[in-house]
């Protein structure tokens, strides 16, 4: 039985590694595609087409003029990809007109509060990494959201993820990087992984790692816990049922 458990764990690890590689490849392709669509055929002042402003330029707020300058679109309702990373933005506002936005990158700014996303029912990817955010809030209406990046912020309570449990399409969620860098204080909670997976049962990637392997580890810990002697009676735990569940998941 120990050999079977080791084999199942090895298979899960191998599968998770392949999934991470595929996910990284998809992210690179999506990033290149979205950046090209953000400003097709036009180079920005900083020599690239990422939609960033010249180094050193600071914008406290997101103005309609800034959005038009970055995207080259006069009508904000047609904007689908918007990259405002590294602009020193402090307040998320003037985004309500971007009703068709699908990907929004506000990473590496000075944002403290998540707000101003009330009309973005089509938003699929939101990058708020490397800001000063302390609470996860005002996101529970984003029914199309598939990926949320919050690593590198100041979020202290892991229970904040409870506000995301009604987002049916959320699959990728980050409060830290895969290597453990840029973690929020909430990641130091001893039951961080268990709490997140309990609240967000539908996610497939947590902090860059497949949740399949993490769920295997959580189940393994539960089995080991069940093997410990009971204070009331020394009863045999249903180990066979656990192995059946492992085999079913591996299949």
pLDDT tens-digit map of 140-158: 999 999 999 999 999 999 9
Q: Contact at 8 Å (CB) between 98 and 120?
A: yes
* CA distances to 144, 157, 169, 200 from 166, in Å: 11, 18, 9, 9
DSSP labels for 152-221? Answer: TS----GGGGGGGTT-TT--EEESS-TTS-S--GGGGSTTHHHHHHHH-TT-SEETTEEHHHHHHHHHHH
Angle 129-58-37 from CA coordinates, rounded to 5°: 60
pTM, two decimal places: 0.67
- 52 confidence band (pLDDT: 50, 70, 90): very low
Query: What pLDDT, on the 0 to 100 scale, is given for residue 159?
Result: 94
* CA distances to 152, 163, 196, 198, 247 from 187, in Å: 11, 17, 10, 15, 30
Q: Which of 14-18, 28-32, 239-243 has the highest mean pLDDT?
A: 14-18
Beta-sheet pairing, 209-210 with 205-206: antiparallel
């Amino acid at each position: 039985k120990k050999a079977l458990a080791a084999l199942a764990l090895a298979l899960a690890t191998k599968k998770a590694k392949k999934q991470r590689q595929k996910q990284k490849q998809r992210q690179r392709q999506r990033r290149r595609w979205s950046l090209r669509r953000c400003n097709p055929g036009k180079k920005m002042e900083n020599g690239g087409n990422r939609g960033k402003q010249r180094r050193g330029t600071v914008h406290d707020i997101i103005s309609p003029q800034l959005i038009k300058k970055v995207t080259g679109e006069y009508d904000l309702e047609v904007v689908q990809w918007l990259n405002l990373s590294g602009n020193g933005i402090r307040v998320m506002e003037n985004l309500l007109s971007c009703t068709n936005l699908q990907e929004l990158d506000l990473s590496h700014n000075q944002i403290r509060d998540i707000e101003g996303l009330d009309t973005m029912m089509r938003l699929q990817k939101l990058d708020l990494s490397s800001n000063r955010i302390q609470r996860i809030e005002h996101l529970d209406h984003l029914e199309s959201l598939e990926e949320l990046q919050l690593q590198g912020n100041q979020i202290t309570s892991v229970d904040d993820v409870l506000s995301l449990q009604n987002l049916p399409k959320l699959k990728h969620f980050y409060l830290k990087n895969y290597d453990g860098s840029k973690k929020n204080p909430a990641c130091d909670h001893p039951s961080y992984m268990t709490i997140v997976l309990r609240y967000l049962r539908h996610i497939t990637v947590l902090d860059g790692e497949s949740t399949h392997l993490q769920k295997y580890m959580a189940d393994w810990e539960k089995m080991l816990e069940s093997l410990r002697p009971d204070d009331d009676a020394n009863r045999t735990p249903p180990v066979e049922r656990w192995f059946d569940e492992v085999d079913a998941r591996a299949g």
